[in-house]
Amino acid sequence: MSTIGVGVVGAGWMGHLHARAYARLPHHVTDLPWRPRLVAVADPVRAAGDEHVSRYGFGRAVTDWRELVADPEIAAVSVTSPNSTHREVGVAVAAAGKHLWIEKPVGLTSSDTAAVAAAVHAAGVHATVGFNYRMVPAVARAKRLIDEGTLGRLTHARFRLLTDFAADPHGVLSWRFTREHGGSGVLNDLAVHGVDLIRFLVGDLSAVVADGDRFVPRRPLAVPGASQYARGDADSPAGEVENLDYVSVLGRAGDGVIVTLEASRVAVGDQNDYGFEIHGTEGFVAFDFRRPGELQVAAGRSYVDQPVTTHAAAPGDGDFALFQPGAGNPTGFDDLKVSECAAFLHGIAGNRSGGATIDDALAAARVLDAVEGALRAREWLAVPEPS
Ligand SMILES: NC(=O)c1ccc[n+]([C@@H]2O[C@H](COP(=O)([O-])OP(=O)(O)OC[C@H]3O[C@@H](n4cnc5c(N)ncnc54)[C@H](O)[C@@H]3O)[C@@H](O)[C@H]2O)c1
């Protein structure tokens, strides 16, 4: 089997997941024309790149991503660096004629995402975006039930992304907490995943109103490359948190479905409490990422006292069968990235590709712009149609 040369820009948390996904892909997917070859990783923090070389077998580490993008041996690039880098790196990757697997949110605002989308379309390359929660087999099952009309007409739904990584006030001021590098904070970090799930399962958001706040105003300064999980102490020099810790959005999606979306990075007691409940006139589905192999389903015509059953994700649900032969073996976060990697490489090969596209990222970014506008105006705002 021949190989396709890949590079990874950003050797942090997501860099590890992308690198492992490329490495594991041939274990799970056997119908691609080539297997990934890890040519280079780029990170300004030399030790982070070197660790990727020793753990995953990249050919080399560089400190300037431009060197990686210029490498003729590399045909596909993962962008797993902070949000502020997505526009410049994403545009350069596409302009160099290389395929792009880029992490959400694809820039700081929708103008960044639009620039990357324009470069991708102009170059005719394939792009996949890191909206990994739509790759969960139980979520794929929920989508099928909704599309088949099992829930009747959708009426109202709740989406939540509640976690605690920023709840400790001694958690350091990593790039996520600055406007310059993290953008809108919890919107770009977490709410964007919820927006993608709403679009995937319910339909496009047409109007929003929102409230939000910052609950931890200052944090200890971070060293370059510090993880979002790093801690300082009470005596460390501190800096200001410039973006939101929490947001609550009320919106209309699809055919007028009322949706709520709540996202928090300071939710003490909630760890990766990500999920949804979707109601229709005849049924209901509910999903909790902490129990990824299960989908709660109520379907039938009894309306009142209708029983809820637990469907164990099984072969036939999304990419489940790539990993396990029978129901009840749950899919993990790393598996979702293998699925996304498969969607990326199938897209490059011109096959059907199930992953989120750059146009999905642009649609989600437009919703986030409207949410920010609604937060400022403190009133309902329409989500602008694509121009
Ligand atoms: N899909 C998901 O569920 C998910 C989860 C976490 C993060 N993300 C996204 O992934 C991206 C990275 O987040 P993370 O959690 O891995 O961050 P991280 O802080 O763990 O890692 C970022 C890495 O990028 C490096 N970096 C900084 N500037 C760079 C540059 N100019 N060129 C190359 N590397 C550079 C840093 O040194 C660091 O090693 C973000 O856009 C984030 O929104 C997605």
Distance from the CA of 14 to the center of ligand 1, in angstroms?
A: 6
Is 277 a domain residue? yes
pLDDT > 90? residue 353: no
Check residue 351 and give its pLDDT. Answer: 84
pLDDT band at 152; cut points 50, 70, 90: very high
Q: How far apart (Å, rounded) are the C-alpha atoms in residues 143 and 161? A: 19
* Protein residue whose Cα sits closest to atom 25 of ligand 1: 10
Atom from ligand 1 closest to the CA of residue 131: 1
The parent domain of residue 146 ranges over: 133-381
pLDDT digits (tens, 9 = 90+) for 264-301: 999 999 999 999 999 999 999 999 999 999 999 999 88
Check residue 229 and give its pLDDT. Answer: 87
Q: How far apart (Å, rounded) are the C-alpha atoms in residues 264 and 290? A: 16
Using the 3D structure, point to which of 62, 93, 125 is the last residue of a domain: 125
Check residue 236 and give its pLDDT. Answer: 84
Distance from the CA of 1 to the center of ligand 1, in angstroms?
A: 31
Domain co-membership, 290 together with 344: yes
Tell me the Cα Rg of the chain.
21
Among 9, 13, 197, the mutation site with the greatest number of ligand 1 atoms within 8 A of its Cβ is 13
Write the CA distances from 138 to 48, 76, 180, 292, 333, integer angstroms: 34, 29, 36, 7, 13
CATH number, position 236: 3.30.360.10
Question: Looking at residues 133-154, what average pLDDT do you find?
Answer: 98
Among 9, 16, 52, 81, the mutation site with the greatest number of ligand 1 atoms within 8 A of its Cβ is 81
The identity of residue 316, as a single letter, is: G
pLDDT > 90? residue 1: no
Question: Looking at residues 39-66, what average pLDDT do you find?
Answer: 98
Distance from the CA of 31 to the center of ligand 1, in angstroms?
A: 30
Using the 3D structure, point to which of 101, 125, 149 is the last residue of a domain: 125
Domain co-membership, 296 together with 371: yes
162 in helix, strand or coil?
Answer: strand
Element (H, E) at 35: strand 34-42
Residue 295, strand partner residues: 311
Domain co-membership, 22 together with 160: no
How many domains are there within the chain?
A: 2
Q: What size, in residues, is the chain?
A: 387
Check residue 379 and give its pLDDT. Answer: 98
Write the CA distances from 195 to 221, 232, 329, integer angstroms: 31, 32, 28
Is 386 a domain residue? no
Domain co-membership, 21 together with 75: yes
pLDDT digits (tens, 9 = 90+) for 55-83: 999 999 999 999 999 999 999 999 999 99
As a whole number, the mean pLDDT across the chain is 96
Q: Residue 355's closest CA among 129, 192, 152, 159?
A: 129
Pairing of β 127-129 and β 154-162: unpaired
pLDDT digits (tens, 9 = 90+) for 211-238: 999 999 999 999 887 888 889 887 889 9
Using the 3D structure, point to which of 100, 125, 150 is the last residue of a domain: 125
* Protein residue whose Cα sits closest to atom 3 of ligand 1: 132
pLDDT band at 190; cut points 50, 70, 90: very high
Residue 71, both tokens: 């490498």
Domain co-membership, 68 together with 183: no
Q: What is the pTM of this model?
A: 0.97
Question: CB under 6 Å to ligand 1: residues?
Answer: 9-15, 42-45, 48, 65, 80-83, 85, 103-104, 130, 132, 174, 225, 227
